[in-house]
Amino acid sequence: MSNITFNDECVHVVFLGLPNVPGIAAEIFGALSVRSASVSMVTQNTMRGGRSDLSFLIRKERLDEMITVCREISERVGGQGVSFATEIAAITVGLNSPEDSAHTLAKIFKALASVNVNIEIINSTSESAICIVSLTRAREGLEALKKAFA
């Protein structure tokens, strides 16, 4: 069985419409590091018009502080705003074999679809796949994955 973990104490933070130039992410994470913010699942997407979105997860217990900090950072670097999704959960599935990752990912998508759980975001490495799903459906998704990988 794959190692499957569940975290409903996370928030998805998205810096929207950042200038797509070197140094912006360094400034964001530098400012967060000064506040000892713990981040995971960092993703950056380049958009049209020379802008990009940068997202990551933080611990829910730090949300109030991070809202203020992230908004200040976004304004300072010329971003178009920040969004915070709090009604999410992260389900992580450990991948047993990097060579078989496509099969494992197909199994994850099939298991979650079978209980009508939509994946909001997925991040896969050779070691694990992290699925961000709606908090209202997360427990069903967790049980479906446990069953699929039993």
| pLDDT by residue, tens only, the chain of 150 residues | 569 999 999 999 999 999 999 999 999 999 999 999 999 999 998 887 889 999 999 999 999 999 999 999 999 999 999 999 999 999 999 987 767 788 889 999 999 999 999 999 999 988 899 999 999 999 999 999 999 998
CA–CA dist 63, 85 (Å, integer)? 10
pLDDT of amino acid 82: 98
DSSP alpha helix (H) spans, the chain = 24-34, 63-77, 101-114, 138-148
CA–CA dist 102, 19 (Å, integer)? 34
pLDDT of amino acid 55: 96
pLDDT of amino acid 97: 73
How do strand 88-94 and strand 81-85 relate by DSSP bridges? unpaired
Distances (CA, A) of 12 to 52, 90, 116: 16, 10, 21
pLDDT of amino acid 73: 96
Adjacent-strand bridge partners of 54 = 15, 44
How do strand 4-7 and strand 10-19 relate by DSSP bridges? unpaired
Q: Is the pTM of this model over 0.75?
A: yes
